[in-house]
Amino acid sequence: MIILTLTRTLKAGFQNFYRNGSLTVAAVSILTLALLIISVILVLSISADLGLKYVQDKIDIRVYFKGDTEEQEMMAFRSEVQKYQEVKSAEYISKNKALDDFKTSNAGKPDILKAIEAVEDNPLLASVNIKARNPEQYDIIAKSIENSSFRDDIASINYQQYKLVIDRFNTTIKTIRKTGAFLFILFSLIAVLITFNVIRMTIFNHGTEIEIMRLVGASNNFIRLPFVFEGVIYGIFAAVISIILLFPIVKLVTPYIIGSAYVSVIQADFTKYFVLIFLAQLLVGVLLGIVSSILAIRRYLKA
Amino acid sequence: MIEFNNVKKAYKVGVMDTVALDCVNFSIDQKEFVSFVGHSGAGKSTILKLIYAEEKPTSGEVLFNGEDITRIKPKGMPLHRRRIGTVFQDFKLLQKKTVFENVAFALEVSGYPNKEIQKSVPQILEIVGLSNKAENYPHEISGGEKQRVAIARALVHRPALIIADEPTGNLDPISAWGIIQLLLKINQLGTTVILATHDKEVVNNIKRRVITLDQGRVIRDHSKGRYAI
């Protein structure tokens, strides 16, 4: 009996779907739009986050040591700093490594290379590059170093000159995260409400049918299930259409939002997440379809 | 088979109570053909709604085969309705289903196997004379034919009782008479039929039991009645 009910109501759900023409088109379009809005905002806030992480990785503070400081001393400093909770990594760059790096990064500029070779001694200082777990913590790290026992060996900390940039960056991160979350919640809510109302409208259109079904002795499940299945089909169609539309939209929109520099990095990441995004859309679409149908039909199922 | 004991039904309209039925008593035996007559608002439809449990009485009891309908729990309601076939003035057909599917629907909800549906539906369409319209949709057939589909649907699961609420109200006299003939034939085959109508000619021609209602009360109950108000 259960299997018979399931197969019959599933068939009825499909029939509703393809016999209702314009209503089906309206419901699928709205659901697609809802999924697209939610996904685009989600994708953009993830993009912004990835972009921020990328930038964040580039930020560090460098502690330069006076020319006569022993390497042993600098290594001791490095292991001391690594003990700080706020520090993610600390990398020792020797004078020679600093020179090599300098040459590599200026490989295309023969004038500069000539100039540096003209100087007999290596003019660059050894340094320890420190990365914080959280960009807000650079201030604390810099202060701790200034107050440490190593301060006499330190030539300079290049934190002060970057302070403004780092501060601004921190404020930007917070704003983007807050706005992203706010927009995501707001638009998700609007999308859910619109979807619910459209599905309610399609079910309202079936009011007489539901009355007839009750009169001929259909059980509540027998009445409800075709609409639930119809909701599932709406969800599947909407997810497929919106995933097809999502990628061109993301490709078009991301450069304007986060600056073209990181677009290739982010888009590469999204291709990886294709299946995951599609499954998420499918899940949200189907759930939206089912929940809206169940809620909308409840009032017709009075005893 | 059906018994109304001191049934009262009042509807709330704003703050006022409108009494649709007041102190109604009657009983209907199996295989009877009973017509309820009366003006609009006399309470005919309310009596039918109480029988198929679309409404509950304000007081009194409605018995169906000895069981008090008002005590049926919501879960048992579909089972109660499957014992009854209903026919309405506005046909109440599923517009998105074909004639065949409309009739089959009454069997599907009751959980009949597909094999039996494939066998019973053509038989019943043959009886109501619609074998050639099985694949048509309701909007493609005439009023009289729609009512035949409704009767086929009401009949296909062989209920003990058929309720017909103004089944001829939307039909021309010839189609109307055809529908009444069909109901009489169904009754002859052993199904109880309850008809609500204000069609004088129909009632006078069938010469069966007539219960006359006026302002929610039974004012006459004759076994070979005529339409007289």
Token representation of residue B24: 């109604």
Pick the CATH number of A67-152 from 3.30.70.3040, 3.30.460.10, 3.30.1490.20, 3.40.50.300: 3.30.70.3040
Low-confidence ranges of chain A (pLDDT < 70): 160-161, 253-271, 302-303
d(CA B23, CA B186): 31
Residues belonging to chain B with any Cβ–Cβ distance to chain A shorter than 8 Å? 52, 54, 73-74, 77-82, 86, 92-97, 105-106, 108-111, 113, 153
Q: Is residue B10 part of a domain?
A: no
Counting the structural domains of chain B, the total is 1
Q: Is residue B101 part of a domain?
A: yes
Residue B188: give the domain boundaries: 31-57+71-222
Give residue A237's pLDDT: 92
Token representation of residue A130: 């420190």
For residue B78, the chain A residues in CB contact (below 8 A) are 214, 217-220, 222
Domain boundaries, chain A: 2-55+169-298, 67-152
Q: Is residue B229 part of a domain?
A: no
Q: Is residue B13 part of a domain?
A: no
Give residue B146's pLDDT: 92
Spatial CB neighbours of B146, under 8 Å, sequence gap ≥ 6: B91, B93, B138
Q: Is residue B1 part of a domain?
A: no
Count Cβ–Cβ pairs < 8 Å, chain A vs chain B.
54
Spatial CB neighbours of B74, under 8 Å, sequence gap ≥ 6: A303
Give the Cα-Cα-Cα angle A242, A244, A246 (nearest 5 degrees): 65
Give the Cα-Cα-Cα angle A200, A206, A208 (nearest 5 degrees): 130
Give residue B144's pLDDT: 87
Give residue A270's pLDDT: 64
d(CA B68, CA A250): 64
For A50-102, the pLDDT digits (tens) are 777 777 777 788 888 887 888 888 888 888 888 888 888 888 888 888 888 88
Q: Is residue B15 part of a domain?
A: no
Give the pLDDT means over successive 10-residue stretches in chain B (229 positions).
91 84 91 91 90 90 91 87 89 89 89 90 91 93 90 89 89 86 90 90 87 90 76
Spatial CB neighbours of B149, under 8 Å, sequence gap ≥ 6: B91, B93, B99, B102, B103, B128, B130, B133, B138, B141
Q: Is residue B155 part of a domain?
A: yes
For residue A19, the chain B residues in CB contact (below 8 A) are 96
Q: Is residue B63 part of a domain?
A: no
As a residue count, chain B comes to: 229
For residue B45, the chain A residues in CB contact (below 8 A) are none
CATH code of residue B209: 3.40.50.300
